[in-house]
Chains A and B, each alone.
Chain A
Amino acid sequence: MNATKLWESLPGFYSFTLMEPGSALIRIFLILLGVFLVYMGYKEKLEPLLMLPIGFTMAVVNGGILVMAGGELGTLFVNPMISEPVKLLDALQINFLQPFYNFTFANGLIACLVFMGIGAITDLDFFIARPFLSLFLALGAELGTILTLPLAVAFGFSLKEAASIAIVGGADGPMVLFTSLILAKHLFVPIAVMAYVYLGICYVVYPYLIKLMIPRKLRAIPMDPMEIPTIPASEKFSFAIIAGVVLSMFFPVAAPLFACFFFGVAVKESNIERFRDFLDNLLSGSTLFLGVTLGALLSVTTVMDPKVFLILILGMIALLLSGVGGLLAGLIAYKVSGGKINPLIGIAAVSCVPTTAKVAQHCAMEEDETILILPHAMGPCVAGVITTAIICGIYVTFVPLF
């Protein structure tokens, strides 16, 4: 065997020589970024449930690029770009994540499954105890979701693409998946990956935003957790059923999302142990495969879209604006309540259950270790999920009409 043959028999390395220098550098960067995300997840600096599967698969998928049968570069993980039926049939038999991508991602099933699981772990007590305060804060925290829409259009995106990017401001992965699959399928991969990576980063970025906007004195305002009354399960169950039906009637296009979320809540509030246990496992399994598939989609051969850089910037703007909106609403609530409400609970309204509520609690504890605002923060956090689902419904219903 001569040296050339030997070199070609190491396709993971040989494929570097077949790439443009820029692509080869990005590939190395993605491998290193993947390892870095795994490390940050392992150290629990970023959300480990997402960073471990996304980072690991991202690193190995970029390491495992090889020359495919047709001569082009690819991987044996997944190819989201295939649309021809014959090529798709081939890919389904060759790429190990292709069936998972086509049968759960491309039709929005994974978004619905994750959302059903989130519903099953969502406690409505705090939301039902103070519905209008929670919804007011949550609507403020949709600032990024609403303002990023015209901003993205000004950057040259179509209305459908802009809406898919703007929904990142709602900080709810399932909604981002659902909206981009319906409105901008061609940008689904970069938008979904960026959204999930950013959701992991929220935990790091939002504390700086809080320190910038909320004075120290206000961060230390105590809120008595005993003020929150216990809500009977029957009340929460009734709310889940009625809200699910009413919202589905208003936005039939987003009805699968509403149905899954409120069904999850109904299961939690019912006494059917088997369903509750199953949904708990379903959420773990769906999150794992979601992370693994998203990481596999981050191959250099699929992310080399010139729009990716702009999507990255707009996604971060959307999340930052939502954080600003939530905190501003928190400051208004603080003023209106005569100083009884800690404005930090505004950041929890950005949603991303329960990460943002934990951020609010963590920042309050930095000022006073005895403070417990987490129960109060969970109300706006849950309301944030509902408002983002509503805005998702508005976008998928009205954007095609404009």
Chain B
Amino acid sequence: MENLTGALKLAALTFVLGLVMCGLVGAIVIVISKIASGRKGDASR
């Protein structure tokens, strides 16, 4: 029973951490894209 409670807590933690880490990876992509498009803008000017 104790093990099952631990497993449920770990499953919940995995979901939340997974969500946070996915957000972080997505944010990295967006930041890199913004910097790249900013550079493209500078170059065209």
Taking a contact as CB atoms under 8 Å apart, the answer to whether A149 and B28 are in contact is: no
Verify B30–A131 contact, CB threshold 8 A. yes
Closest A residue by C-beta to B24: A246
* A138-B22, A391-B18 given; A131·B4 CB < 8 A: no
Q: How many A-B residue pairs have CB under 8 A?
A: 89
Q: Is A333 in the interface zone, CB < 8 Å from B? A: no
> A149 contacts B10, CB within 8 Å?
yes
Asked whether any CB of chain B lies closer than 8 Å to the CB of A386, the reply is yes
Bound: A152/B3 CA distance, A: 11
Give the one of B10, B13, B33 with max A CB within 10 A: B10
Decide: B14 and A242 in contact? CB cutoff 8 A. no
Give the Cβ gap from A380 to chain B, nearest Cβ, in Å. Answer: 12
Is A33 interfacial (CB 8 A cutoff)?
no
Assess whether A390 is in contact with B21, with CB atoms less than 8 Å apart.
yes
Task: Identify whether the interface residues of B are mostly helix, strand, loop, or mixed.
Answer: helix
Contacts of B33 in A (CB 8 A): 128, 235
Q: Does residue A18 face the partner (Cβ distance < 8 Å to B)?
A: no
A167 to chain B, nearest CB (A): 11
Looking at A58-66, A154-162, A263-271, A276-284, the stretch in contact with chain B turns out to be: A154-162
**Are B22 and A387 interface neighbours, CB within 8 A?**
yes
A51 within 8 A of B: no
For the complex formed, measure the closest distance between the CB of B25 and the CB atoms of chain A, giving whole angstroms. Answer: 6
Q: Is A142 interfacial (CB-CB < 8 Å)?
A: yes
In chain A, residues 372-395, which have Cβ atoms closer than 8 Å to a Cβ of chain B? 383, 386-387, 390-391, 394-395
Given contacts A232-B36, A243-B28, contact A402 B10 (CB under 8 A): yes
Q: Given the known A-B contacts A159-B3, A235-B32, are A243 and B14 also in contact in the complex, defined by CB atoms under 8 Å?
A: no
- A153 CA to B1 CA in the complex, in Å? 9
Q: Nearest Cβ distance between residue A141 and chain B, in whole angstroms?
A: 11
A: number of interface residues (CB 8 Å) = 41
Report chain A residues within 8 Å CB of B25.
131, 135, 243, 247, 386, 390
Shortest Cβ gap from B39 to chain A (Å): 9
Query: Which residues of B sit under 8 angstroms from A138, Cβ to Cβ?
Result: 22
Q: Flag if B11 contacts A250 (CB, 8 Å).
A: no
A398 to B17, CA, bound (A): 11
Task: Tell me whether A149 and B7 are in contact (CB under 8 A).
Answer: yes
Kindly list chain A residues whose C-beta atoms are within 8 Å of the C-beta of B9.
402
Give residues of chain A (256-308) contacting chain B, Cβ–Cβ below 8 Å.
Answer: none
Contacts of A235 in B (CB 8 A): 32-33, 36
A242 touches B19 (CB 8 A): no
Q: Answer yes or no: A100 CB below 8 A from chain B CBs.
A: no
Q: Does A234 contact B (CB under 8 A)?
A: yes
> Could you say which of A132, A147, A153, A250 contacts B4, with CB atoms under 8 Å apart?
A153
- Interface residue A139 (Cβ < 8 Å from any Cβ of B): yes
Question: Would you give the 0/1 interface string for B24-44, flagging 1 where the beta carbon is closer than 8 Å to chain A?
Answer: 111011101100100000000
A262 shortest CB reach to chain B, Å: 11
**With a CB–CB cut-off of 8 A, which chain A residues contact B23?**
135
Residues of A within 8 A of B26 (CB): 131-132, 135
Q: Chain A residues in contact with chain B, CB under 8 A? A: 127-128, 131-132, 135-136, 138-139, 142, 145-147, 149-150, 152-154, 158-159, 162-163, 232, 234-235, 238-239, 242-243, 246-247, 250, 383, 386-387, 390-391, 394-395, 398-399, 402
Listed by A's residue number, 23 A-B pairs whose Cβ atoms lie within 8 Å are A135-B26, A136-B22, A146-B11, A146-B14, A150-B7, A153-B6, A159-B3, A159-B6, A159-B10, A163-B10, A232-B36, A243-B28, A383-B22, A386-B25, A387-B18, A387-B22, A390-B18, A391-B14, A391-B18, A394-B18, A394-B21, A398-B14, A399-B10
Given pairs A142-B18, A391-B18, 17 additional interface contacts (CB within 8 A): A136-B22, A139-B19, A146-B11, A149-B10, A149-B14, A153-B4, A162-B7, A234-B36, A235-B36, A239-B29, A243-B28, A387-B22, A390-B17, A391-B14, A394-B21, A395-B14, A402-B9
Q: Can you list the 8 inter-chain pairs with the closest CB atoms, starting with the nearest?
A: A153-B7, A150-B7, A131-B29, A135-B22, A131-B26, A390-B21, A402-B6, A235-B36
